[in-house]
Amino acid sequence: MTIEISDKTYDEEFVKKVEEISGENFHKCMQCGMCSGGCPMIEYMDIPPRRIMILTHFGLKDKVISSKTAWICATCNACSVRCPRGVELTKVMEAIRQLTLRKNINYVEPSAISEETIADLPQIALVSCFRKHTS
């Protein structure tokens, strides 16, 4: 992935918001890849957690917000435990989701799920999904 940075692409407000909501200093990330290496969901993500950290550091809001990575994240905390710089990526992923959810935009629209699918899925999984993916 090529990262192009300029005054036009750096979104300072986005960086400050992620800092504020997550309470994390993701600028400490040294791009070692330990987080991505231990992520059980990585095969379903379009951008690995390591890259999400550098894209967020550089304020590339559009790339981060349009990625499905934060939504796929299972909040398992494996990345945070492995990070040698003590970055709690789980909190950063939550902050990225919140930037969308706080605009009253649902990532998963409950009314669009068919009755058959709802009947097939474990109720606990549905509740968990709605908590994380709806505003």
49 contributes a contact to ligand SF4 by CB under 6 A: yes
55 contributes a contact to ligand SF4 by CB under 6 A: no
Minimum CB separation of residue 56 from ligand SF4 in Å reads 10
95 contributes a contact to ligand SF4 by CB under 6 A: no
78 contributes a contact to ligand SF4 by CB under 6 A: yes
34 contributes a contact to ligand SF4 by CB under 6 A: yes
Contact call for residues 22 and 64 (beta carbons, < 8 A): no
77 contributes a contact to ligand SF4 by CB under 6 A: yes
27 contributes a contact to ligand SF4 by CB under 6 A: no
- Interior angle at CA 111, CA 107 and CA 105, nearest 5: 30
What is the secondary structure of 26-90 as a DSSP string?
GGG-----HHHHH-TTGGG-SS-HHHHHHHHHTT-HHHHHH-SHHHH-----HHHHH-TT---HH
Size of the site for ligand SF4 (CB under 6 A): 29
For the record, the structure tokens of 83 come out as 């990070």
Of 9, 75, 106, 134, the residue at the interface with ligand SF4 (CB under 6 A) is: 75
What is the secondary structure of 47-58 as a DSSP string?
S-HHHHHHHHHT
Of 15, 18, 35, 64, the residue at the interface with ligand SF4 (CB under 6 A) is: 35
Minimum CB separation of residue 20 from ligand SF4 in Å reads 19
